[in-house]
Structure 1
Amino acid sequence: MNPRLTVDGRPRHLLDLEHLPAARLQALLHRAQMFAGGGQAPAALSGVAVCTLFFEPSTRTRLSFQLAAQRLGAHILNFDASTSSATKGETDLDTFRTIQAMGVRGFVVRHRIDGAVAALAEAALPGVAVLNAGDGRSHHPTQGLLDMLTLRQAKGEDFSKLKVVIVGDVKHSRVARSDLHALRALGCGEIRVCGPAALLPDANTLRGCVVTQDFDAAMDGVDAAMMLRLQRERMAEGLVTSLEDYHRDFGLTAARLRRAAPDAIVMHPGPMNRGIEIADDVADGGQSRVLAQVANGVAVRMAVLESLLGE
């Protein structure tokens, strides 16, 4: 039996978008849009315990998952690795099994190591769902979904005519990988990827993309620019010459944004390094959808929690 599916063929966990059928992705977006528009699912998770099991810091993802679970009527347990038995040497797997033994049915897991969330999902008991809230630089599926919802709200459901550029530290970005999977699944017309050569991933990750290091050219006529944080905590020294040079070559300024389509939108998963990958007047400007992404995070995570843990 496929460990990702329940006995009746429904998804059991959400570990990535790579294995999520396009129809299922669309269904989640439709449901999330209903929640974003003010629709409710009162007590859909009444009596269900959900644990935010975070082994890595988070603001937007943790809080939006907690709010999403609360709006669905779930009981929420907030795990903080820095104050847990992990500081005494308890393994991640033992921590997971301990909390699972308390009757918790939903685990929202963030981890700094690639594949760590999938490894915990293998230890899940029947009826227990694991949601990947970001693992290493591999996957961040709900971020990918909320980015697609934000793009769809601005540009409509037909992605086939869209030109989207993803810019920056793609190599270390789990967000970029999930966005690329989702954009391909939704039939995006043209996906451009731009960044320093040292910060571009392998060819398989970039399949089907137009790849360039010329940011000005990459912005020409695009409908959306997805900016990425320069993840200095995940990279070796020397991958960028200086932050000033990076901003000069790959920072989104108002002048560069004028090369895009007049109604182009600007996105960023946060946290933003202002003055490095994005200028203040762009981050706070009329074409920015950064806060819309945050708002959509609650709606998307409600849809995902409901789909995996609801009756």
Structure 2
Amino acid sequence: MLTWSGIVRRSGLCITPCHHGRELFHLGGMIMIKSRQVSLRNKDILGLENMTVAEMELVLDTAKEMKNIVGRDIKKVPTLRGKSMINLFFEPSTRTRTSFELAGKYLGADVVNITASASSVVKGESLRDTLMTVEAMGVDIIVMRHAAEGAAQYASNVVSPIIINAGDGAHEHPTQGLLDMFTIKQYKGRLHGLKVAILGDILHSRVARSNIWGLQKMGAEVHIAGPQTLLPKFMEQAGVKVHNRIEDALADADVVNILRIQLERQKKGLFPSAREYARIFGVNQARLALAKPDALVMHPGPMNRGLEIAPDVAYSDQSAVQEQVKNGLAIRMAILFLVLMGGKNIETTA
């Protein structure tokens, strides 16, 4: 059954998610959206492993409308007025924390940032007690990054506010996976059938896991490559093409997603030296030429230029690195809107 899912005014006064199967037509300067009702099944965003294709498409389509808001001179709308969110980060972050903060503020929410170094965690407070303290303050949503895998699921189990996983150890980073897919779709027009090469430290990368889960569900062909010591076992059983030579993964690739090498891995003997890594696995112009001429170059940041990616690749016309940052804001606005408002029609007059 078709239902009205809302109205999007060109001026940005009204917004609502657009999603798969939508019908758009113009009426009196407004874009009316008539579509099958779709919503997120769970209140929390913990990972892409358990997210359906319909849910991911809902987020991606909603992000298109949010990106229109970001592009305006006056970006702030009161869609989430009266809602409160806390960015609870136990690990350093520039892009993720800042974009979540701006996403909340642009949508009118009250946003507070908490870092481990400036909290009672340094006094020995447990994660559970920190979460319960935040819950007692009546916060609506907690955006959390933690070094422990499964920390976001744990938070979801012990407190009632909405939990958004901003990265839990080497497990998942769902909003990064979504923004990467959004960026690919922006440039390529589709995800299905594309060859995506993910290169570098796959074993310790939450970005890689979320990308793999999401891209495979959306019909992309995923190839990974890196030192054998940095490749997880059993990836082939999950349908991923695994290569020890970076050249094999790059061959005819539509998208090249290069992961940051964590230099502390060298100290653990997982690769010989930074110079040796760059020589064998670094993406330079010669190696990039193995991919398709219009291959898209991506990197979640921060980049180690001259190590996993050459400067002339990082800043080439094929690079979408800065667009990824812009799209991260739109994706996180979409996520906040969907989890807090449930896709309701919300008047957003500034």
Query: Shorter-chain TM-score category?
Result: over 0.9
Whether the aligned pair in 2 keeps the contact of 1:177 and 1:205 (CA below 8 Å) is no
Match of 1:60 in 2: 95
Report the residue type matching 1:30 in the other structure: D
Residue deviations 1:63-82 (CA, integer Å, cap 9, x gap): 00000000110000110210
Match of 1:104 in 2: 139
Task: Give the distance between the partners of 2:146 and 2:305, measured in 1 at CA.
Answer: 25
Match of 1:176 among 205, 208, 211: 208
Whether the aligned pair in 1 keeps the contact of 2:40 and 2:339 (CA below 8 Å) is no
Task: Give the distance between the partners of 2:267 and 2:278, measured in 1 at CA.
Answer: 19
Task: Give the distance between the partners of 1:235 and 1:113, measured in 2 at CA.
Answer: 21
Q: Give the deviation of 1:212 after TM superposition.
A: 0.8
Task: Give the distance between the partners of 1:57 and 1:177, measured in 2 at CA.
Answer: 20
Match of 2:22 in 1: none
Of 287-296 and 29-38, the range deviating more from structure 2: 29-38
Report the residue type matching 1:216 in the other structure: E
Identify if the C-alpha distance between structure 1 residues 234 and 110 changes in structure 2 by more than 3 Å, giving closer, same or farther.
farther
Report the residue type matching 2:199 in the other structure: V
Whether the aligned pair in 2 keeps the contact of 1:172 and 1:235 (CA below 8 Å) is no
Match of 1:226 among 239, 248, 257: 257
Match of 1:144 in 2: 177
Match of 1:195 among 204, 226, 250: 226
Identify if the C-alpha distance between structure 1 residues 76 and 41 changes in structure 2 by more than 3 Å, giving closer, same or farther.
closer
Q: Give the deviation of 1:207 after TM superposition.
A: 1.6
Task: Give the distance between the partners of 1:192 and 1:248, measured in 2 at CA.
Answer: 20
Task: Give the distance between the partners of 1:234 and 1:183, measured in 2 at CA.
Answer: 27
Whether the aligned pair in 2 keeps the contact of 1:146 and 1:296 (CA below 8 Å) is yes
Task: Give the distance between the partners of 1:120 and 1:235, measured in 2 at CA.
Answer: 32
SS of equivalent residue, structure 1 residue 216: helix
Task: Give the distance between the partners of 2:211 and 2:173, measured in 1 at CA.
Answer: 9
Report the residue type matching 2:209 in the other structure: R
Q: Give the deviation of 1:233 after TM superposition.
A: 3.6
Of 31-40 and 64-73, the range deviating more from structure 2: 31-40
SS of equivalent residue, structure 1 residue 171: coil
Task: Give the distance between the partners of 2:311 and 2:237, measured in 1 at CA.
Answer: 29
Match of 1:83 in 2: 118
Task: Give the distance between the partners of 1:203 and 1:87, measured in 2 at CA.
Answer: 38
Of 109-118 and 198-207, the range deviating more from structure 2: 198-207
Whether the aligned pair in 1 keeps the contact of 2:53 and 2:218 (CA below 8 Å) is yes
Q: Do structure 1's residue 121 and structure 2's residue 121 form an aligned pair?
A: no
Identify if the C-alpha distance between structure 1 residues 302 and 9 changes in structure 2 by more than 3 Å, giving closer, same or farther.
closer
Whether the aligned pair in 1 keeps the contact of 2:166 and 2:173 (CA below 8 Å) is yes
Task: Give the distance between the partners of 1:297 and 1:234, measured in 2 at CA.
Answer: 27
Residue deviations 1:141-196 (CA, integer Å, cap 9, x gap): 00000000000001113x232111000000000000000000011011x2111111
| Superposition TM-score, scaled by structure 2 size | 0.83
Q: Do structure 1's residue 130 and structure 2's residue 163 form an aligned pair?
A: yes
Q: Give the deviation of 1:210 after TM superposition.
A: 1.3
Segments of 5+ residues of structure 2 without an aligned counterpart are 1-38, 345-350
SS of equivalent residue, structure 1 residue 122: helix
Task: Give the distance between the partners of 1:142 and 1:9, measured in 2 at CA.
Answer: 14
Task: Give the distance between the partners of 2:122 and 2:329, measured in 1 at CA.
Answer: 31
Misfit runs of 4+, over 6 Å: none
Q: Do structure 1's residue 257 and structure 2's residue 288 form an aligned pair?
A: yes
Size of the aligned set, in residue pairs, is 300
Task: Give the distance between the partners of 1:50 and 1:142, measured in 2 at CA.
Answer: 16
Identify if the C-alpha distance between structure 1 residues 274 and 206 changes in structure 2 by more than 3 Å, giving closer, same or farther.
farther
Q: Give the deviation of 1:205 after TM superposition.
A: 7.5
| Superposition TM-score, scaled by structure 1 size | 0.93
Whether the aligned pair in 2 keeps the contact of 1:142 and 1:297 (CA below 8 Å) is yes
Residue deviations 1:113-161 (CA, integer Å, cap 9, x gap): 1111110111122xx200000000000000000000000001113x232
Q: Give the deviation of 1:236 after TM superposition.
A: 5.8
Report the residue type matching 2:248 in the other structure: A
Task: Give the distance between the partners of 1:20 and 1:97, measured in 2 at CA.
Answer: 27
Report the residue type matching 1:62 in the other structure: R
Match of 1:35 among 41, 58, 66: 66
Task: Give the distance between the partners of 2:333 and 2:88, measured in 1 at CA.
Answer: 17
Report the residue type matching 1:240 in the other structure: F
Whether the aligned pair in 1 keeps the contact of 2:171 and 2:209 (CA below 8 Å) is yes
Q: Per residue, is there more strand in 1 or in 2?
A: 2
Match of 1:213 among 240, 244, 247: 244
Report the residue type matching 2:131 in the other structure: F
SS of equivalent residue, structure 2 residue 158: coil
Structure ID, larger Rg: 2
